[in-house]
Amino acid sequence: MSFELLAPAEMGEADRLAIEAGPLDGYGLMCRAGAAVAAEILRRYPAAPRIHVLCGPGNNGGDGYVVARLLRQTGVDVAVWALGNPRDGSDAARAAKDCQIAPGKLSVLSLLGDELIVDALFGAGLSKPLDGDAAKAIAKVSDAGCKVVAIDLPSGVSGDSGAVLGSAFRADLTVTFFRKKPGHLLHAGRARCGETIVADIGISSRVLDTIRPATFENGPALWSQVFPSPSGEAHKYSRGHVGVFSGGPSSTGAARLSAMAAQRAGAGAVTVLSEPASVAVNAAHLTSIILRNVEGLDEVRAFLEERKPGALVFGPGLGTRPKVADFALELLDAARGRVGTIVFDADALTVFASCRDELAKAARQPDAPKIVLTPHEGEFKRLFPDIAADAGLSKLSGARQAAELIGGVVIYKGPDTVIAAPDGRAAINSNGVPWLATAGSGDVLAGIVAGLAAQGMPVFEAAAAGVWIHAEAAGRFGPGLIAEDLPAATIPVVRDILAKQSALRSGA
């Protein structure tokens, strides 16, 4: 699987590099793109009574003219509707001339309702809201209930952000080329794309060596090579030890969810760190998970020195009193040189809103643990109000800025979860399912990430893997999922990852 995502500007650079390297020129790439779209249409919609190809003035429109020409050559009833004329001497102008189907004006587009629309107006390069005849055409298509095949990206969707610019087509199928764009995965673009297919049009992957993309579609191809697999000589502590801080007597469940998830992610030992008032409640529910009574930072520091856990989870069920923030900052200092990663989740994210700068400073101290923050949209707005207030930022850009500001990995949760690292790398998750919208789901995610990080997985990859496993487990389980189901639901997902990893290593 090709997991790199290219912004529209990067895709333009890929085209340029491919043309420079040959053997295809720009028109050759355009013809390859049009042929890929035409082939999908003939395969999926062989009975379409009529196909309307809507062509813009740029290269996306040029692709459309190629599609129309090839479909007409197979005997399909094709109509072409143009929004302006291609620039003289351009590849699109050549495609329009070779098409030899006289286009009508887009402003007079008429539809019956059972016809197929090919959207070749703008694709991923659009940077301003759609209006005028293009917006009217979108409304006509929607009112008629026609099926839509979009070339590259549904017109009206930003390739950079996934935002709908004014109005946009809702495609049943989107055919893009070489690599997906962020707009294919970020909402609301993802919902507008329907099924997305990436077609090979002859651009070599070697162009990526020059472009050096830093945005990826999250999945095993991104991180499976560093996914932890225990050796034959492993013992429970060498497999990774996770410490999870518990809340008060009436708020202990969240920590236990995190602890169980860390175990299922492969951590060999998990300890719930419980204040004295909660020990009895936790003891009644824990079996294979270790329970340790801690009262104050000195006892926590003793645990860190004695057991040297690879990762900690701090936040679930702890409450939002100011002393929680103070303790978190003290914990970061106490963990220096002793703990590899701390996952801050749930209540920790709320209390950090009052001391974000102190958190960022603590995270940058020598030997400080790597930190992971897991905000959903509301928590992100509280923790990063300055970033969230910038309406011009995409979710991808906002997550990147937050990760750089805080000096740690940010998992910006939602149906299009973005995982961002302070070095600029980011991954967009694409397997999210609505079953995850259930209380306690985030606590499980925090535990999975901590469990992977404790086993030595690099923190960005651990965060990305945790997000994917969490969503994949929920998707396989389906309706009826509650948070208590999730730790066990990860078992077949992790098994499949390890099985594929082993097969690749053995050359099977």
Chain segment 289-314, per-residue pLDDT in tens: 999 999 999 999 999 999 999 999 99
> Does residue 235 register a pLDDT over 80?
no
Res. 99 pLDDT band, cuts 50 70 90: very high
The pLDDT score that the predictor gives to residue 443 is 98
Q: pLDDT for 204-230, tens place per residue? A: 999 999 999 999 999 999 999 999 988
Mean pLDDT of 233-241: 81
Instruction: Specify the CATH architecture of the domain 228-506.
Output: 3-Layer(aba) Sandwich (3.40)
The pLDDT score that the predictor gives to residue 303 is 97
Mean pLDDT of 135-157: 97
Mean pLDDT of 182-197: 97
> Does residue 423 register a pLDDT over 80?
yes
Mean pLDDT of 326-335: 97
Q: Is 298 exposed, middle or buried (0-12, 13-18, 19+ CB in 10 A)?
A: exposed
CA 434 to chain centre: 15
- Higher-pLDDT residue of 11 and 230 is 11
Mean pLDDT of 456-478: 98
The pLDDT score that the predictor gives to residue 503 is 83
Domain boundaries, the chain: 4-213, 228-506
The pLDDT score that the predictor gives to residue 113 is 82
Give residue for tokens 């050759």: 28
> Does residue 34 register a pLDDT over 90?
yes
Res. 1 pLDDT band, cuts 50 70 90: low
> Does residue 201 register a pLDDT over 60?
yes
If one counts every other C-beta atom within 10 angstroms of the C-beta of residue 100, the result is 11
CA proximity to 314, closest of 282, 289, 286, 346? 346
> Does residue 449 register a pLDDT over 70?
yes
The pLDDT score that the predictor gives to residue 214 is 98
b (16+ CB within 10 A) / e for 69-96: bbbbeeebebbbbbbeebeeebbbbbbb
Instruction: Specify the CATH architecture of the domain 4-213.
Output: 3-Layer(aba) Sandwich (3.40)
- The mean predicted confidence, pLDDT, of the chain is 96
pTM comes to: 0.96
> Does residue 125 register a pLDDT over 90?
no
Torsion of CA 387, 389, 391, 392, to 10 degrees: -30
The pLDDT score that the predictor gives to residue 227 is 97
The pLDDT score that the predictor gives to residue 237 is 76
The pLDDT score that the predictor gives to residue 506 is 72
The pLDDT score that the predictor gives to residue 508 is 56
Res. 504 pLDDT band, cuts 50 70 90: confident
Which residues, including other chains, have CB under 8 Å from residue 332's CB and lie 6 or more apart? Answer: 342, 359, 362, 363, 365, 368, 369, 371
Torsion of CA 432, 434, 440, 441, to 10 degrees: -10
The pLDDT score that the predictor gives to residue 412 is 98
Question: What residues does 373 pair with on adjacent strands?
Answer: 344, 410
